[in-house]
Amino acid sequence: KQEVTQIPAALSVPEGENLVLNCSFTDSAIYNLQWFRQDPGKGLTSLLLIQSSQREQTSGRLNASLDKSSGRSTLYIAASQPGDSATYLCAIYNFNKFYFGSGTKLNVKP
């Protein structure tokens, strides 16, 4: 069974810092990996999707990479802002199911 781990569980940084969130998974047989953002009590907002044949995807200040051989993905956030404060979840998709990590709670201090 696919297991997805996110480290750290929580992260607090000053505004303007570049930061990296990590996601690791145990089974490299994946269709894709998706990064989500979730604000407290709200639904999930899709940030980036990386297909299994891709190495990275970029959207604005966000860059996500995928290394299937090592079972890792990273989400890079450049020039962080207080509005980036949220919980970030990675999810692996294969065999009709999404496997979610437990998330990293990010706090960007003004």
Partner 1 sequence: DTEVTQTPKHLVMGMTNKKSLKCEQHMGHRAMYWYKQKAKKPPELMFVYSYEKLSINESVPSRFSPECPNSSLLNLHLHALQPEDSALYLCASSQVPQGPSYEQYFGPGTRLTVT
Chain residues binding partner 1 by CB under 8 A are 31-32, 34, 36, 41-46, 49, 51-53, 89, 91, 93, 95-98, 100-103
Which residue's CB is nearer to partner 1, number 7 or number 79?
Answer: 7
The span from the CA of 109 to the CA of 49, in Å, is 27
Shortest Å, Cβ 103 to partner 1: 6
Q: Please, what's the b/e burial string for 30-45 (b: 16 or more CB within 10 A of its CB; e: otherwise)?
A: bebbbbbbeeeeeeee
The SS3 assignment for 69 reads: coil
Kindly tell me which of 18 and 106 has the beta carbon lying closer to partner 1: 106
The owner of tokens 């995928």 is: 66
> Least distance to partner 1 from the beta carbon of 85, Å?
15
